[in-house]
Amino acid sequence: MPVCTSADVFQFVGAPQDVQTTQATAVTALITNAISEVEQIIGRRIESYAVTNLLIIDDVNCTVMGQNIYLGGPYHDIYAISSLGLNGTALTAVSSNNTTGDYFLDAHHGIIVRNGQNWGDFGTNLVLTGSAGLNGGVVPPAIKQAVIEIVAAKTGLWKYNVMTEGGRIESTRTTINKDTMDLLEHYRLRGMYG
């Protein structure tokens, strides 16, 4: 599911139908740019993406401490592991029917926990395949709003009225709301490991 569509932006700014028809393609391109901009601000990928054969390497993309692997950078948001192999052997996930598995994923904190033992020194022999993305691949409303506002500001379609003693002046908004920017800060990845 996309972060937002041109229709979301047009609804936000109250664009007339003729503007929607002539500028839909340009606004859609701006949405892609705005998504990249938000991802740079928060240091995370917004939309869900596949992680394939990722070598888990201590001090490169994670920190290993005892039973815990603290995933870092873009891998902090891994929310599903379809396979995890150690030295060529598939590990099994702990689940409600399998409490004797080898590991479990704490997706909220970006941690892979070894069940009942330490990870030890596995070098580059731990390989993960799965899915990653902020909020389990479900775009939070604040992120969607930020993307919409960034696009609205860049299009020049975001108008507002300023009342003066001489009357009303229509002005164009060129930045997003401070409250929206503050909400983005909530999603910013602090340091490599959250």
Report, as an integer, the average pLDDT of 6-22: 95
DSSP 129-174: EEEE-GGGGPPPHHHHHHHHHHHHHHHT--EEEEEETTEEEEEE--
Can you say whether the dihedral through the CA atoms of 6, 150, 11, 172 is positive or negative? Answer: negative
User: At residue 25, does pLDDT exceed 60?
Assistant: yes
φ, ψ for residue 191 (rounded to 5)? 70, 180
pLDDT tens per residue, range 136-182? 889 999 999 999 999 999 999 998 888 888 888 888 888 888 998 88
**100-109 pLDDT, tens per residue?**
899 999 998 9
pTM of the model: 0.81
pLDDT attached to residue 192: 52
For the chain, the structural domain boundaries read: 6-44+139-187, 49-132
Question: What does the alpha-carbon distance between residue 38 and residue 59 come to, in Å, rounded to a whole number?
Answer: 26
Whether residue 1 has pLDDT greater than 70: no
The whole-angstrom separation of Cα 135 and Cα 47 is 9
Q: How far apart are CA 189 and CA 73, in angstroms?
A: 8
pLDDT value for 50: 95
Q: What is the mean pLDDT of the chain?
A: 90
> CB of 148 within 8 A of CB of 114?
no
Beta strands in 48-87 (DSSP E): 49-55, 62-65, 68-71, 78-86
What is the Cα–Cα distance from 107 to 122, expressed in whole angstroms? Answer: 22
